Structure 1
Amino acid sequence: MEKTGKPTINDVARIAGVSKKTVSRVINRSPLLNQDTRARVEAVIAELGYVPNVQARALALRHNFLLGLIHDNPNAQMVMNVQAGILEAIRDTEFELIVRPIDRGSSTMLADVRAFLERQRLYGVLILPPVSENDMLADVCNDLGTRYVRMGSTALDAPEHMVASNDSDVVVEAVNHLISLGHSRIGLIAGPHGFRSARERRKGFEQALSEAGIKLPRSLIADGNYTFESGLAAADRLLDLSPRPTAIFASNDEMAAATLHAARRRGMSVPEDLSIIGFDDTAIASHIWPPMTTVHWPIISMGRSAALKLLADFFGDDQAVEEPSLFPSTLIHRASVAPPRAGS
């Protein structure tokens, strides 16, 4: 029989002997689909010349094939790494990523997010810290029926709505490493106020010193904002002290790199005169000299897992993969840490 009109998903399903849902999974590269079924459906798609009508499907499903990323974060590298993880998860699918920065200090933040979700009709949204710590944003998503996952430095929600790291625990490990080498005058460059990550990292720092019986003078804590410039000012403040610290833990790699810069400006040698540990394991940590000892934060894996959590319903329960909610960070040993000089 001569074909009339464009082939439809119903035509593909009928000829391949599968359901429309199975055809949809083939189109969207569901990871656990049977390979024989996939090959059969793809052959029918090729034979018929079927091209999915994304707009029509979006209208029928009452959502667009879009995942959203909502953030208010000064760390551009962190946001880029999350995007990389999401894009890895949706590669070869019909889904696209839309990024929406917001102002957490705005009185209209919740209304702005609600309008954004209503306008874009997202399939799901990933919310980055620190705005992920706002329970009212989760309430907005629930009210609109928008799937969501929150990212944080500790558990904030049910596992299906959460990807988290163990920031305080791994900072305990990092500071214990400094203590084991003989450091007792250790400075902290803290993250910005209002960030749970900053709070968790400071918590781990203080816990390690307390458990070792080391007193922490307030003068050894300097506030930063996760930026190089703020790290430079904080490092200068700590290195102006007399006696100055023999080691500094910076709450992210940008501020750790700034600490190295501040030390070099003073003619200090790293790690001989000053040991430095950062957090994130971004490219800057391995590209500077000496390469930076830092905490590897598995942010790309967290972004990928968050996206797959959002897509679990789309792939169907029988195709779902249980994604982890906790992503342990690990201490990466490089060349910026050594025992303190004798007598320092």
Structure 2
Amino acid sequence: MADDDTAPAPSGLKPGKRPTINDVARIAGVSKKTVSRVINLSPFVREETRVKVTAVIDDLGFVPDLQARGLAFRRSFLVGLIYDNPSPNYVVNMQQGVLDALKGSGLELVVHPCSRQSDTVVADIRAFVERQKLFGVILPPSVSEDERVIQTLRDLDCPYVRIASISLDAPGAMLVTNDHLGAAEAGRHLADLGHTRIGFISGPASFRSSAVRGGGFREALAEKGVALDDRYVAEGAYTFESGVEAAMGLLALDPRPTAIFTGNDEMALGVFKAARDMGLAIPDDLSVVGFDDLPMASRVWPNLTSVRLPIRDMGRMAAEKLLAPMRGIDPARLEQPEVRPSLVVRESARRLGA
């Protein structure tokens, strides 16, 4: 009698049969929807159930099929980028990073601008997700900070990854940008250049990043023995125009600040315009430091000293987390990518009195 080298199929499956999600559900003793939630790392699954279903998936060697999942879960091949950010350069860089990650995945990107100030913002986002039957969603700040939006996505069982300056969720659903570290570098740099009368133009109060960046900046100045006078603090809107308006107010003070740090590069360029309109030269009369290090920072003159936040890389890393379950990877078990801002020193800030 010839030896039979065919290994028995796991858990009673017929030899050669490819395991399906129905097999996983039957053997684990749970519903098909529960299996799909485990695959998509939904937070609404008990840990003991997650462990049991994951063990069956591993035992069967079950690999979710993208097209089958799209049909079974009534999802499209679309990844949504939902944003409320007034900086077009930020949004474009974020989109490029997401597209980098989606190459070869069979998924496409669809964007949805919104306004968190709108009374219908949550309903609009719900309608967008349901209408497009999204595979998943990437949320940059400040939409990522809105717990109403997060709860809506959970209710819809729609996978998401949040990008924010601090951790707001489980590691598998978060990309933390550590904005306070970059702002602290900006503060130390200006203090080391001898500036003590320093202005700060923050982003809008509705953005958590505004408070986080402001906090890091203040703390670094305090470490250097420099106090940030509230008279020299103004709120902007992360737009060029708001940077101009805020800078005009700060530069009209007597005595005026010798340096200004802004919450993003768009507002820093607004400071450039305000200074020029008031007959002040950068950096001779006023040092300026921005945040984000968008491409424009090295295209203006003088080149803008700015905190580099790798926005394109952030979009790519967030999308890779979103795609991990499709590739059979638990994003919570991925090596967590570290986003660490760094100061890029250029010509727009100089030593006081030099």
What TM-score range do you get, normalising by the shorter chain? 0.7 to 0.9
1:56 Cα deviation after fit:
7.5
Equivalences for residues 304-323 of structure 1 within 5 A: 304-317=316-329, 322=334
Once residues 222 and 319 of structure 1 are traced to their aligned partners in structure 2, the CA distance between those partners, rounded to angstroms, is 39
The CA distance in 1 between the partners of 2:203 and 2:113, in whole Å, is 20
Specify the alignment match of 1:330 in structure 2.
Answer: 342
Q: Aligned in 2, Cα 1:337/1:58: closer, same or farther, shift over 3 Å?
A: same
Helix, strand or coil at the partner of 1:326 = coil
The residue correspondences of 1:91-110 to structure 2 (distance < 5 A) are 91-110=103-122
SS at match of 1:138: helix
TM-score by length of 2: 0.78
SS in 2 for 1:244: coil
The amino acid of 1:189's aligned partner reads I
Q: For residue 254 of structure 2, what is the aligned residue in structure 1? A: 242
RMSD: 2.4
Q: Which residue of 1 aligns with 2:263?
A: 251
Matches within 5 A, 1:217-296: 217-296=229-308
Which of 53, 65, 72 is equivalent to 2:77? Answer: 65
1:74 alignment counterpart: 86
* Residue in structure 1 matching 2:172, options 156, 160, 164: 160
In structure 1, the partner of 2:127 is 115
Closer, same or farther: CA 197–318 of 1 in aligned 2, 3 Å: closer
- 1:34-73 alignment, distance < 5 Å: 58-73=70-85
State the alpha-carbon separation in 1 of the partners of residues 68 and 194 from structure 2. 66
Q: Given that residues 172 and 331 in structure 2 are in contact (C-alpha distance below 8 angstroms), is that contact kept between their aligned partners in structure 1?
A: no
The reply on whether 1:134 has 2:146 as its aligned counterpart is yes
Q: Give the conservation status (yes or no) of the 8 Å contact 2:250–2:256.
A: yes
Matched with 1:203 is 215
**What amino acid maps onto 1:235 in structure 2?**
A
CA–CA distance in 2 between the matches of 1:297 and 1:109? 27
TM-score under structure 1 normalisation?
0.80
Which amino acid in the other structure matches residue 279 of structure 2? G
Give the drift of 1:310.
0.8
Q: Is residue 73–residue 130 contact of structure 1 (8 Å, CA) maintained in 2? A: yes
The one-letter amino acid paired with 2:78 is L
Which residue does the alignment assign to 2:309? 297
Is 2:78 aligned against 1:88?
A: no
- Secondary structure in 2 matching 1:97: strand
How far, CA to CA, are the matches of 1:319 and 1:220 in structure 2? Answer: 43
Query: Which residue does 1:175 correspond to in 2?
Result: 187
Structure 2 counterpart of 1:264, which letter?
A: R
The equivalent position to 1:143 in structure 2, one of 155, 163, 167, is 155
Task: Check conservation: 2:261, 2:268, Cα contact below 8 A.
Answer: yes
Task: Kindly state the Cα deviation for residue 190 of structure 1 after the two structures are TM-superposed.
Answer: 1.1
Q: Percent sequence identity over matched residues? A: 48
Which of 320, 340, 344 lines up with 2:352 in the alignment? 340
Q: Deviations over 1:185-236 (max 9, x none)?
A: 1110111111011111111122122223323322111221111111011111
Q: CA deviation at 1:20?
A: 9.3
Distance 1:189 1:318 in 2: 40
Q: What one-letter code is carried by the residue in structure 2 that aligns with 1:84? A: Q
**Alignment match of 1:190 (pick from 198, 202, 208):** 202
2-structure distance, mates of 1:307, 1:55: 19
> In structure 1, what residue type is equivalent to 2:240?
F
CA distance in 1, matches of 2:267, 2:68: 48
Aligned partners of 1:185 and 1:203: how far apart in 2? 17
In 2, the alpha carbon distance for the partners of 1:176 and 1:187 equals 14
Q: For 1:289-336, what per-residue CA distance to the aligned partner results, in whole angstroms no more than 9, with x for missing partners?
A: 010100101111111111111111111139998253531111001111
Say if 2:182 and 2:341, in contact at 8 Å, map to a contact too: yes
Structure 2 residues not aligned, in runs of 5+: 1-15, 21-65
Q: Distance in 1 between matches of 2:175 and 2:112?
A: 19
CA distance in 2 between partners of 1:288 and 1:139 (Å):
42
SS at match of 2:234: strand
Distance 1:19 1:91, change over 3 A: farther
